[in-house]
Amino acid sequence: MKNIFRGLGAAIFALVLTGCTTVAPQYTASLDNVSTLKKGSATKAAVAAFGSANAKVNEVTIRAGAMQSPYDGSYAKYVTEALKQELTLAGKYDQNAGITIDGTLLKNEMDASGFVTGYANIEVRFLVKQGGTVRFDKVKSVAHQWESSFAGPVAIPRALAEYPVAVRKLLTLLYADPDFDAALK
């Protein structure tokens, strides 16, 4: 019996030391964003694999645990997949198109440590290219806040659910930019 408690104690200690890794929810396209894309340029676009400015943008923590991207652990791929989903649903995605949307994830921060408010800050440099010509080059950023809690069992799931909302808001800003729409023509 003593060995069982020692083994259980060692397992709990190891779990506490390593922290918990949670996978962020996959992105679900926004119908409002899809509608905005449908109303825009009639041209289809390809999406290149977005890059990361540094390794830190893929190291997201919520309280004591890590939050990993469901797309090969890469939050740059998270943005890439979100963009592809919405373009596809709008009928504007073609991986062989002459116009390509590219980008770099510059900032990707979450904080659910607050007793009242949690936040996410995401910043991406978006590029639209046709052949070798850059038609659009702007940095878009979003600061998203939500109601949080002192209690981890409340705050952590809420933070997980809010990450896709922050990405959705970022893409909403991109699609609302008339220069982005003009670059797709």
- C-alpha dihedral, 48 to 68 to 125 to 43, nearest 10°: 40
Residue 10 domain-assigned? Answer: no
pLDDT-derived band of residue 110, with 50, 70 and 90 as boundaries? Answer: confident
**Range(s) of the domain holding residue 173:** 21-183
pLDDT tens, position by position, 120-146: 999 999 999 998 899 999 999 999 887
From CA 35, how far away is CA 87, in angstroms rounded? Answer: 10
Residue 2 domain-assigned? Answer: no
Burial string for 121-146 (b: 16+ CB within 10 Å, else e) reads ebbbbbbbbbeeeebbeeebebebeb
Contacts of 70 (CB under 8 A, 6+ apart): 23, 24, 25, 26, 78
Cβ atoms of 20 and 66 closer than 8 Å: yes
Per-position DSSP letters for the chain, written without gaps between them: -HHHHHHHHHHHHHHHHH--EEEPPPP---HHHHHHHHHS-S--BEEPPPEESSGGGG-EEETTEEEE-TTTT-HHHHHHHHHHHHHHHTT-B-TT-SEEEEEEEEEEEEE---SSEEEEEEEEEEEEEETTEEEEEEEEEEEEEEE--SSHHHHHHHHHHHHHHHHHHHHHHHHH-HHHHHHT-
Q: Indicate the number of domains in the chain.
A: 1
Residue 4 domain-assigned? Answer: no
CA 79 to chain centre: 5
Cβ atoms of 41 and 181 closer than 8 Å: yes
From CA 102, how far away is CA 58, in angstroms rounded? Answer: 18
- For residue 15, is pLDDT > 60? no
Residue 12 domain-assigned? Answer: no
Quote the pLDDT of residue 62: 79
Residue 14 domain-assigned? Answer: no
Residue 153 domain-assigned? Answer: yes
Q: What CATH number corresponds to the domain at position 55?
A: 3.40.50.10610
Q: Which of 90-94, 117-121, 147-151, 153-157 reaches the highest mean pLDDT?
A: 90-94
- For residue 6, is pLDDT > 80? no
pLDDT-derived band of residue 156, with 50, 70 and 90 as boundaries? Answer: confident
Residue 13 domain-assigned? Answer: no
What's the predicted TM-score (pTM) here? 0.85
Cβ atoms of 116 and 109 closer than 8 Å: no
